[in-house]
A and B are shown apart, each in its own frame.
Chain A
């Protein structure tokens, strides 16, 4: 029985991808695996949408792609973060953190005084 999962919003997915490629050249499968493991598979993404997202980020020049050989000697497309992408990641992280704090604070707030 799988645990309940959260639909990942598109903007959030972009941010997660940027984070995933920030440690060096990775292929799409590795990105999917990392998101799976890092979030304990809570954020179960539809992997079909992962690739358009990667290509979108490449078109925006936030990530760059090169073809290389995978660990098992297969032809694979590797992605790396560009300086522009790094700046974007920093910005989105800050925004998301503030948003999360705000929501959390609201949920933890004492009941409204009457």
Chain B
């Protein structure tokens, strides 16, 4: 009979030995049975034999028991961990609740930092990192034809025949789908809604990896002209306009000039990843037609195919099918430097994003802000850690291991960070909503983001990350010293050591805020400068009044309508002056005249500008716009027959350099299809340049021709445009009333404030400026809080020293100087480092500054001054506390 040694009983003190336990248990059973059988009179050998028989397959049983034991052990360990975590969290919550002011500041800091970062990261994520959700997104490219003149790359429409050729012959691509934009109106009259439409063929949904939510895709038959007109609704439009009703299928809606039958709803995730436009509201069939052109083609390369190889192959097929540009424009090099090249290019969605730069800048800026916020929280934790040394030392003495204490401290900061992160989700989401609402039209991509679901993920990852890093740092700092020592030492003598760390954190915060602040001030400066740009005409009270007819008007009818409207406008007391033109006063969307030539320099010469914008105006146009004639005269009755024009000073300068433009001649250098050439135009006057876009700034070369010379056809033939100047007291409403009252039946009117439209071009810089200014303000506030904290803390530490000084006769002024001097010294170091950082960092926003130097001394100086003032203000309360010290009490303390 084997005896189990008594000491094995205590084995469980150290750890469980599952196998030994099972063996013990089975052995005990065997021994008991053997003893029982022997008591009945069996010999020991017989008894053992009988017991073995009775037990059966004991080895299998043993193995099964050990397995089960292991399972139980794992369960127990997990339960232990969860229990520990739960008590840690409970403890953390309790200790955070004990310092509500501290907790609130820390929470708010995390929420603002993480929230702001979350908004910007979500935008960057949606636009830069994952611009499309298509299958095989990394192989999806835009195939575009770019018309390159000098350094300008102008996207040119693509014949849809190219798509058919590529689908049939290209071996480097898997699929190609054309798209064409077609905006229109839903309904008519007052209740009409503007809808953004995109025409695609039946292959598009499969390309995008999507199926209609309800209903069906286009059929082949619907892509042939003459069939019934059908339409697919985009999900957001369906929800907005039709309340997500499922009975819209089969409904007929008045879309544009013809009714269309709704056949399905397409999920919101399906978009053309061209961020220059708003997402489509409706998807229309791309009905085949001869010479149909499309805005672009999306292609998906075969796996393994390179973009270069695909570009070459697609271009070769394109050339082979003679789909290229008009004769003589294919891909030729003009004599001189001007290269005009038409080429096929594959671009990845999102890479040609105009706001890429701005987004990168914002991402960097918000990263700085997050750093400031983290620094501040680390700071707060350190301050707290200092006062908790004794608590931790006591817990250590009571048996809590260092790992256990570390875990406790990290749990606390993670709990804090998670709570802050939860708030940050709201801040981030609110930020996105705000940003989407305030976004200027040029930042349409932001419209894609407001529904983005990754906000939650990004916020939680950031929060947990920040919590872990900050907590671990602060905890190591707090717990790394010999905890036993702490119990014996008095609080204040221990804490001095972390002062240097805290001071360097504040310096870092001030430096980061300085970078943000300088950046924001530079942008503000740039926007103010742009706003003061001279427009070249007087925009005050100037409105553009458009009367649009359904059908193109014959020239005579259009002239008489214009003359009639002008007479009636003059009779209206609200209107001071009126004139007529074919286009708005600003040359951004005027007709272009390209390849100019003069008798001295043919069009192929490198010495002439390539193009000018053209407007057609009444003789009194210049006086109504208050554009002074720089030389020459304006139009008279015979101007049209004599082909007389007025040019802007930049066109005059480009064509004739220094010499006087009046009396000179030039024309469009292109030969018309019938072989004829345009007659020469004679310059009779020169007027100032007009700035249409405050951001682009440079004046477009412009040419004005008399009203009688306007085209009899084309898109402009459907409208009469009046440019009116309102009396200073008159309002746009009065003008609208007038327009309604004089408009002939069936003519639609629209009113545009010229100044407002020009100011709109500033929307993007203003928007970026606003965001950066907000970040900078947050950064400065956080830095001020940090500075306040560290100075208050120092004052608290030095109460005794201050008391002694005052007892020895130091004046209150001297004490105040001492305290504020401390803060200012820290701030100054931070500011100097920050300004140095700004010199490097502002490179990111250089091309958003529009002429303002990135070393603009005003911004640097103002930023430094502002931070210094804030630093002084942050020191005021601690200073008051210091000067209020009663020497008698201070010296006795501790």
The docked-state distance in angstroms from the alpha carbon of A32 to that of B28 is 13
* Contact call B25/A46, Cβ cutoff below 8 A: no
The docked-state distance in angstroms from the alpha carbon of A39 to that of B269 is 70
Interface size of A by CB at 8 A reads 20
Q: Which residues of B contact A47 (CB under 8 A)?
A: 29, 33, 54-56
Chain B, range 55-91, C-beta contacts under 8 Å to A: 55-58, 60-62, 64-65, 68-69, 71-72, 75
B66 to A, closest residue via Cβ: A55
* Contact call B68/A52, Cβ cutoff below 8 A: yes
Q: Which residues of B contact A46 (CB under 8 A)?
A: 54-57
Which of A51, A56, A58, A75 interacts with B9 by CB under 8 Å? A75
B12: interface (CB < 8 Å)? yes
The docked-state distance in angstroms from the alpha carbon of A97 to that of B306 is 76
* Contact call B68/A70, Cβ cutoff below 8 A: no
B167: interface (CB < 8 Å)? no
A interface, over-half SS: helix
* Contact call A74/B28, Cβ cutoff below 8 A: yes
* Contact call A29/B54, Cβ cutoff below 8 A: no
* Contact call B55/A48, Cβ cutoff below 8 A: yes
In the complex with contacts A27-B28, A29-B28, A75-B68 CB distance below 8 A: no
* Contact call B60/A28, Cβ cutoff below 8 A: no
Which of A32, A56, A76 interacts with B68 by CB under 8 Å? A56
Which of B31, B56, B71 interacts with A49 by CB under 8 Å? B56
Q: Which residues of A contact B56 (CB under 8 A)?
A: 46-49
B26: interface (CB < 8 Å)? yes
The docked-state distance in angstroms from the alpha carbon of A55 to that of B62 is 10
A77: interface (CB < 8 Å)? yes
Q: How far is the CB of A95 from chain B (nearest CB, A)?
A: 25
Q: How far is the CB of A97 from chain B (nearest CB, A)?
A: 29
In the complex with contacts A47-B54, A48-B60, A29-B32 CB distance below 8 A: yes
Q: How many contacts between A and B, using CB within 8 angstroms?
A: 71
Chain B, range 3-20, C-beta contacts under 8 Å to A: 4, 8-9, 12
Which of B4, B24, B58, B75 interacts with A48 by CB under 8 Å? B58
* Contact call A48/B28, Cβ cutoff below 8 A: no
Q: Which residues of B contact A112 (CB under 8 A)?
A: none
* Contact call A74/B55, Cβ cutoff below 8 A: no
Chain A, range 64-95, C-beta contacts under 8 Å to B: 67, 70, 74-77
The docked-state distance in angstroms from the alpha carbon of A75 to that of B22 is 12
Which of A27, A55, A75 interacts with B4 by CB under 8 Å? A75
B21: interface (CB < 8 Å)? yes
Q: Which residues of B contact A56 (CB under 8 A)?
A: 68
Q: How far is the CB of A73 from chain B (nearest CB, A)?
A: 9
Q: Which residues of B contact A59 (CB under 8 A)?
A: 68, 71-72, 75
Which of A51, A58, A74 interacts with B26 by CB under 8 Å? A51
B26 to A, closest residue via Cβ: A51
B52 to A, closest residue via Cβ: A48
Q: How far is the CB of A80 from chain B (nearest CB, A)?
A: 15
* Contact call A58/B72, Cβ cutoff below 8 A: yes
The docked-state distance in angstroms from the alpha carbon of A29 to that of B30 is 8
* Contact call A29/B29, Cβ cutoff below 8 A: yes
B-side interface residues toward A, CB under 8 Å?
Answer: 4, 8-9, 12, 21-22, 24-26, 28-29, 31-33, 54-58, 60-62, 64-65, 68-69, 71-72, 75
For this complex, 5 residue pairs linking A to B, each with C-beta atoms less than 8 Å apart, are A32-B33, A47-B29, A51-B29, A74-B28, A77-B25
Known: A28-B28, A56-B68; 11 extra A-B contacts, CB below 8 A, are A27-B29, A29-B28, A29-B32, A49-B56, A52-B61, A52-B68, A55-B65, A67-B21, A74-B4, A74-B28, A77-B25
